[in-house]
Structure 1
Amino acid sequence: MFLLQLEKLSEVQSQPESQLKFIIEAWQQEGTEMDLCIYGYYLPENEQTKKQFFEYLQGEAEAGLGGLHQCAEKEFLNYLNSDGPSKDFNDFRTKLAGLTSVTRNYFENLVRALENGLSDVDSQAACSKTSSKNIAGSSKDKGGRGKGSSKIDIPIRNAADDWACDQCAYLNVRSATACNMCHHGR
């Protein structure tokens, strides 16, 4: 079915099929959606910080996948069903390739963290609170006393300093001169 859609897209957009590899790569990346929820379920109760870190990384990966799905499936149909070549097809190519790359990086980071046993988290470390968001988890025993808390630093930045790309609406850090998603200039 996908090959038939690529053939039709090639015809409608006057693009050789060899130039549509970016769509295949996007579809393949969508197919790598792993059901990693089970891993978080099996993290031991005393590993709350690792669980929070895992959930954070998983959320990032799923958010990237959502944007990729929107572009690879829904926006794709606009180009597939158009009456002829679209002027902005190359912009679509750039956006989809960028989303594919970003999503791949999110999943690679998640898999790498899992392979390392989420060792980037030091549940005993005291964390600096100056430039990061502190996520703490604690549990209480039957007597009501805290067993302790685990902390993890997740860097945050001032969103007011960020800028949205005119091309793809990706939110970039202030220092970026080109969009980190589609590489469109600021």
Structure 2
Amino acid sequence: MSTGITRRTPVLITVGIVVVLAAALLVGWRAVEGTANAATPGDRSVEAGFSRDMAVHHQQAVEMSFIVRDRTDDEAVRTLAYDVINTQANQRGMLLGWLESWGLNKTSTRAPMTWMGHGAMYEAKDGSLMPGMATNTQLDQLRKATGKDAEILYLRLMTAHHQGGIDMARGAVKTAGDDKLVRLARTMVDGQRAEIDLMADMLAQRGAEAGQ
């Protein structure tokens, strides 16, 4: 009996050493991974580009929502406008705050959307700097509209705005390495998809469609 125990002892010791080494390697790998994820994004990173562009994109959504708030008395549209104002103003603050914490400028001389790759370059026109953004002409139309006309125009413009924002956020989810930014981008996708569905119903109630 004692001989059997003696023979198994070296094996048990060897197995124990292997387990300890494996655990140590796993801990070390996780530590390295955590350090990589925590690396500060550079000026030309996806994180920097997305944060700058989406801050501008969000700012226009807030602007349009303030405009329609004063152009209609419809409670449903005004409630949606308040939700957009609060959500996107808060998200914009987070994006700008991250840029500051990374030691990066909040603006860049680079063209919008370059962080998504050359194929995603967008031709800016009439104040529309990125996909989905309203033109200056459309904003002027919204400012002049009232009542149902203002509601329909706002819902159409915001639907297109959200669709452009979703594409940008999905691009960040696929290519960004900063965990907190990816989580925020996913939140944008889910939240704006839900609002697009809501706005489709609101347009239908007014005898209109988003694409008209």
**TM-score w.r.t. length of structure 2:** 0.33
Give TM-score, length-normalised by structure 1: 0.37
Q: Going by fraction, where is helix more abundant, 1 or 2? A: 2
